[in-house]
Every structure is written in structure tokens, then in C-alpha cells.
Chains A and B, each alone.
Chain A
């Protein structure tokens, strides 16, 4: 039952060559809980290369956001990283003193968050906030920082930037606020940009514009783009590689086409079957994933997905052994399912 599809024509689904810019190795993060520490991110290893878009897919409690907050040293106290390495161009960020890590943030690795409405400081102008970022990292006069900010606003396609730079956030629409936040995030030409659900709070037409912008910036600057999302459609349209997370662990990791045509984890398959898409026959019944998203404080001893899995069906190894990451038949396609070999290829058009 192995995948037999022949090599597809060269497509944007293939990652560009080049070593990883950001290489996360065996990262674990814990929060203290009522009954001892709760592991929110567990042994996660992912990397992104220059010019590549990596999509990280998961729902609440999957650890997708905490993984990257951990990488930037931004986990809210009392959470803490308990193990692993985060190599940014070879430097382990987790070993850096706070001050040096701060200097890298915003400069070499940057992040855009979900809600553009609350991401901007309401009592400062858009210009003040970009200038603040520029001057936090570079010795430059207020004047030149302001000029640079106007250029940045133009860069993210905000019309009439000379005038809009003195606006306050509440005078911007949701899409424009996210553009302004992107302008801040790319102000210092970072090597890695992490976009955490950048369009979840935005309308669908604005969503398309923002993601086109991010892709354009990635192509122009050669930065690596990490797109954290729950929308499989966005992944299909914009990503080169996909990492599916569940219960704080990686469930599946591989090239876009491999994961989308031949998923090797039951959770990925269930996700496809449970969400209506414009492509599925309208009368088709959805197959919900039964049960609730995992509670990081009460993960089962074995595979985190086992209680909701259509394939585990009470198997002993699923219940007791945390699955390691298995290499599948495709290169660089990993699955954390004991029984990945039993999964057939996916036909989305059921």
C-alpha cells in the first residue's frame, strides 16, 4: 500500500535547496501545573531553510505556537524550556544570555501574531512604533528612522505612507494593521519570519492579500517563513513543507505534496475528512474527530491521538508507547504513528 505516484513535475511544492536557517532540535517546554509540570512542547524537531515556507498545522493545545515562542525565548513565565536546541544560523538561541537573545529578536528572527487589532499599541502612532523597532537595534537618528518607516509602509503596500505613518492604529483597518505589524517584523530584514495565524482574525479577501504579501517578501529577501495555521487550504496554497502537530508533539512532517496526497498519520487524515472545503461534494457527510482536543495536562501515556484515532482501536502499543518519528517511504517524510504503513493514500474528493 505504499505510495506509487510518480515524481510530479517540478513545482513550487518543493523546498528550495540550502541548509536550514532555523533548526529546532528536540525542543521541550513545560509549564507548572497543579499535579506537577505539564509538558506543552515535547521533543519537537523542525527546521526551515532560506526562501522556504514551512506550515505548522495544529489546533489549540497542539503546541504549535509555544514551540516558536520557546525558540524566541518568549514563553510567558512560569513556563520554561526544559531541553533541546534552537539553532539560528548555527547559534544556539537557548544558550544565549537574555540581552543577546533580545538583540537577535526582531533583527534576525521575527514574529507576526494572530490578532492585528490588539498587536499595535493604541496610544502611539504607527510611525512611532516602527521607529521604536528600528532604533532598538540600529543607531540611527529619529529622522532617518522615520524615513525608513515610510519606506517600510510602502513596502507592505500601505497607500499614501507619508500621511498614514502619523495615523494611530484605530485609524487603520484590520488588514492594514496586519500590514503595519509585518512592516515592523521585517524592518531589520530578519532571516526567519514566524507568522502565527496571521490572518485568522481577518476577512478571507484580506487574508489572501496578506499571505501574498508575506510570500512576496519571502521571495524578495530570501528569508525563511514559518506559517502557523489551522487552515489546510492556506497550507496547500502557500507552503513548501508541512508539519502537523498534535498534543505538543509532531504527528507528521514532510513535503507539501507528500503529506497532502499520502498522509501518514491518522490525525492528518481525520483533519481532511472533518472540515468542509469548497472542493468536497456538498452533500458529503463530514466525519468529525470524536472527543475533544488534547489537554496537555492529561495526555495519555502512549500516542496522544490514540483516544480519538480511527486506526488505534485499543491497540496496546498505541496506548502505552509514545510513537517515535518513523521515516516513511518518501524522503524527509516523517510520521509519529506506530501503524503508518497501514494508511492508504488520501483521496480528498471522497
Chain B
């Protein structure tokens, strides 16, 4: 187990290094100049040059990279050129809002997707199955920002059940949830579609296994076979997809945060990219990559609990 965790740690470090490097060069490859952005269109050449020197932007890119890595390894990712705050602080401040959205959305997705997938598998070929799969197809096909806009139109504008925009960071838990619900549902719905489809195919495969036939021959109740004996086997591929969707979740979160004007890593990152706020982008990418790796490692550990064949001895 220790070996395993050690290996995960190595994996984490390598992944983060790679991701940060890619983000660094990608940002430099995008046209645009942070100094120009900060000083506006009418800045003098001299002023620009001074600022660029201050920011280290006059150096060749590889030197900038080495300098950045040197600082990054000591934990200093620089400060946002826009706000002047340390980049890491800025990102960490916006993380809770994103995490809340992603986790709530995923919980909603699981709560909808897994049962629908199971029902669909058990009733394979019936109208129930067809209806669920049509719904899932729709969920996958409609872009999440479109779903978000429709949801705002229907639930906030016409029905006025939920607030249309923003988030409450100061209010109590209920208020926060109240603001969170609509974006989370929109997000959950699109992910639920993936989960339902996968649950269905995983269940169908498991229900065709010999041990299910044996359980039936032993007179075990169908509900017990599906809900316990088969489901635990089907959970393994389902979890894998949840891991992937959690990764996607943060990607989708950007869109949703923008549509709903919510604070979060997504909207912070978007603003940072538009402003060519290199430091902030790098910190954001680093944090997102860390979240993805940590989620996947935790899933690996959970696999071990579900599937004894993978258990570390």
C-alpha cells in the first residue's frame, strides 16, 4: 500500500510538472501582451518596456521558464498582474465555489444516472429503455451552456424558482445552496446522461455473466441480484467514468460559471486568460491538474475495496 501511494505521489509530481510546462508555453504562444493589456491601448512604448522588464517579459522564453520553475519549486507561483494578489491565493479562494458546483453536480448526476442506467438495463428493449436512452442522448448532445441558458430562461425567468445569476458567498448554507441548485442541476443533467449510458452497458454485461445465472439458479431474488450481486461488479466501470467526468466537470464548470456568472476557478481562469495574466493561469492549471490526479488516485483506492482482485497484498 505504501509502495502504491509512493508511486501515486511520483505520478502526481510528474503530471503537475508536465501540465505546468505545457500551460506555460501555450500561454506564451498565444498572441497578446500582458503589459499592453494592463496599460491600455494608449500606453507609451517606454512605459510598456519598463513594465515588461519588471514582469521579466523581456527575457527569452526559456529563461522565463527556468525562472518560473525555480520559483515554482519553492512554492512561489508569482502574483496576478491584474490584482497583485499571489496567484495561488487567488485560485484557492475561488476553488470552494467550483468544488461545490462540481461535487453537487456530480452527486445529482449519480443520483439520476445510476438508477436510470440500471432500470434501462433491466428493462432492455422495452419503451422504458428506449425513453431513458433517448433522454441520455439528448443530455449528451445539448451543449451545457445552451442547457444553462434554457434553464435560466425557464426556471429563473418564467417560473422564478431559482435566482438566475450569481452566487451567495456570504449567506447561510441554505442561501448558498439556493444559488447553487440551478447550475448544479444543469451540470448534473449533462453528466447524468454519460453515467446512465455507461451504467446501462456495464449492467448489461454483468447480467450476462455466469455468476448471475448461478444466482438465479440458486433462487436468489432478482432485486437482490441486481441491487447487490450485479451492481457491485458494474460499479467498477461506472467509477472509472465518474473519475473521467469529474475531470470534465471542471471543464464544464468553466462554461457553467460563465453562463451563471458564478465565481469559481473557471471564471477566474477565463478572466486570467483574457488578460494574459500568466501567473494566474499557471496557478489555476496546476490546481486543476492536482485535483484530477488526486481524484483518480482516490478512485484507484476505491477500486481495491470493490474488486478484491486488484487489492494490494
Partner-B contacts on A (CB < 8 A):
72, 74, 102-107, 110-111, 113, 115, 118-125, 132-133, 136-137, 168, 170, 181, 184-185, 187
Instruction: List the 3 closest A-B pairs by CB distance, nearest first.
Output: A106-B219, A106-B218, A105-B219
Determine the main DSSP class of B at the interface with A: helix
Cβ proximity bits B290-313 to A, threshold 8 Å, 1 near / 0 not:
000000000000000011110000
Which B173-195 residues have C-beta < 8 A from chain A? Answer: none
| Contact status A121-B218, CB under 8 Å | no
| Contact status A133-B210, CB under 8 Å | no
Q: A113-B210, A113-B213 are in contact. Are A123 and B307 (CB under 8 A)?
A: yes
7 A-B residue pairs with CB within 8 Å? A74-B216, A105-B216, A113-B210, A113-B214, A121-B215, A123-B232, A132-B220
B270 at the interface (CB under 8 A from A): no
B233 at the interface (CB under 8 A from A): yes
- A185 contact set on B, CB distance < 8 A: 217-218
| Contact status A123-B308, CB under 8 Å | yes
Complex CA–CA separation, A137 to B216 (angstroms): 13
| Contact status A133-B209, CB under 8 Å | no
| Contact status B217-A170, CB under 8 Å | no
Query: Quick one: which of B214, B221, B232, B309 contacts A181, CB cutoff 8 A?
Result: B214
- A106 contact set on B, CB distance < 8 A: 217-220
- Interface residue total, chain B, C-beta cutoff 8 A: 21
| Contact status B220-A122, CB under 8 Å | no
- B214 contact set on A, CB distance < 8 A: 111, 113, 119-120, 181, 184
Complex CA–CA separation, A185 to B220 (angstroms): 12
B157 at the interface (CB under 8 A from A): no
Query: Quick one: which of B217, B219, B221, B232 contacts A124, CB cutoff 8 A?
Result: B232
B271 at the interface (CB under 8 A from A): no
| Contact status A136-B308, CB under 8 Å | no
- A121 contact set on B, CB distance < 8 A: 211, 215, 229, 233
Complex CA–CA separation, A187 to B218 (angstroms): 9
Q: A121-B233, A123-B306, A168-B308 are in contact. Are A115 and B210 (CB under 8 A)?
A: yes
B224 at the interface (CB under 8 A from A): yes
Residue of A nearest to B231 (CB): A123
Residue of B nearest to A136 (CB): B220
Cβ distance A192 to chain B, nearest Cβ, rounded Å: 12
Complex CA–CA separation, A168 to B233 (angstroms): 14
- A118 contact set on B, CB distance < 8 A: 209-211
Complex CA–CA separation, A247 to B221 (angstroms): 33
- B217 contact set on A, CB distance < 8 A: 72, 74, 105-106, 110-111, 113, 185
Residue of B nearest to A102 (CB): B219
Query: Quick one: which of A107, A110, A170 contacts B308, CB cutoff 8 A?
Result: A170
| Contact status B232-A170, CB under 8 Å | no
Output the residue of A74, A103, A119, A170 with the most chain B CB within 10 A. Answer: A119
Complex CA–CA separation, A237 to B218 (angstroms): 28
